[in-house]
């Protein structure tokens, strides 16, 4: 997809009120093995349109803020953990390196867990869909990029990654590597419906 068109989701189910959001990204290329990551967290939005790919036609504005009780499972070493602190960087815009969200351990000289969205009137830019979480072994270290999907709004080759990139930008900005995963590129988004409130018992009947 690109520009102002919506994302061609394979299936969109009902969208009840939800309490948690989860993402599953699976990647596989001819020259590399299968890589996958699962990340779930307390809901950071009320509208299901705000938890998918942040294209201009899908949702408005930037979604930048903390994530609570992040659970991560992955076959990429160093990511697994439960109850982690994390943060989200979802927007359709260009962005800069400044740590405008005050993310602990983020650098103002790298594209990483703390960047600054740069909105414009068209709502079309480089694009960022990133989940970050604290390092399970040492929360004082810079946060891990659990997964990143960038450069998705203009019909160009996207950036894709699981775990922090070890060379270049930790959040995979500029990688332009989606074509390397020519066997599997699958992103799934889930929501956990809230439990309905307990029914109010009927008033006692008079006899």
What digits encode the pLDDT tens for the residues 156-192? 899 999 999 999 999 999 999 999 999 999 999 999 9
User: Does pLDDT of 85 surpass 80?
Assistant: yes
Share of the chain above pLDDT 70, in %: 87
Tokens at residue 1, please? 């997809």
The reported pLDDT for the residue numbered 59 is 55
- The answer to whether 25 and 37 are in contact (CB under 8 A) is yes
Q: What is the mean pLDDT of residues 76-86?
A: 98
User: Does pLDDT of 143 surpass 60?
Assistant: yes
User: Does pLDDT of 43 surpass 70?
Assistant: yes
Calpha distance 185→88 (Å, rounded): 21
Beta bridge partners of 37: 25, 74
Best CA proximity match to 14, nearest among 174, 194, 202, 179: 194
Calpha distance 65→86 (Å, rounded): 9
Count the Cβ atoms, other than its own, within 10 Å of residue 195: 8
The reported pLDDT for the residue numbered 197 is 61
Burial 115-141 (b: 16+ CB within 10 A, else e): bbbeeeeebbbbbbbbbbbbbbeeeee
Over residues 101-135, the pLDDT tens digits come to 999 999 999 999 999 999 887 778 999 999 999 99
Per-residue pLDDT band for 55 (boundaries 50, 70, 90) equals confident
The DSSP line for the chain is -BTTPPP--S-------EEEEEEEEEEE-TTS--EEEEEEEE-S-SSGGGSS---TTT--S-EEEEEEEEEEEESSTT--EEEEEEEEEEESSEEES--TT--TT--SSSSSSS-EEE--SS--SS-EEEEEE--TT-TTSPPEEEEEEES-SBSSPPEEEES--SSS-TT-TT---GGG--SEEEEEEEEEEPPPPPPPPPPPPP-
Kindly report the CA angle at 161 between 147 and 164, in degrees rounded to 5? 70
pLDDT higher at 24 or 50: 24
With a threshold of 0.75, does the pTM exceed it? yes
Share of the chain above pLDDT 90, in %: 69
Best CA proximity match to 91, nearest among 114, 119, 66: 119
- For the chain, the average pLDDT equals 89
User: Does pLDDT of 2 surpass 50?
Assistant: no
């Amino acid at each position: 997809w690109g520009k102002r068109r919506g994302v061609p989701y394979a299936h969109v189910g009902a969208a009840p009120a939800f309490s948690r959001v989860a993402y599953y990204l699976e990647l596989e290329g001819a020259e590399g093995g299968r890589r996958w990551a699962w990340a779930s967290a307390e809901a950071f939005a009320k509208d299901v349109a705000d938890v998918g790919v942040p294209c201009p036609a899908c949702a408005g504005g930037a979604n930048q803020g903390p994530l609570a009780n992040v659970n991560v499972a992955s076959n990429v070493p160093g990511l697994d953990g439960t109850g982690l602190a994390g943060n989200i960087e979802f927007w359709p815009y260009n962005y800069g390196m400044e740590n405008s969200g005050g993310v602990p351990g983020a650098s103002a000289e790298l594209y990483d867990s703390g960047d600054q969205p740069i909105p414009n009137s068209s709502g079309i830019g480089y694009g960022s869909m990133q989940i970050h979480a604290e390092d399970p072994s040492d929360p004082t270290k810079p946060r891990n990029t659990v997964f990143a999907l960038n450069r998705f709004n203009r019909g160009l080759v996207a950036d894709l990654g699981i775990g922090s990139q070890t060379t270049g930008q930790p959040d995979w900005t500029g990688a332009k590597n989606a074509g390397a995963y020519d066997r599997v590129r699958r992103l799934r988004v889930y929501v956990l419906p809230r439990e309905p409130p307990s029914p109010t018992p009927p008033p006692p009947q008079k006899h």
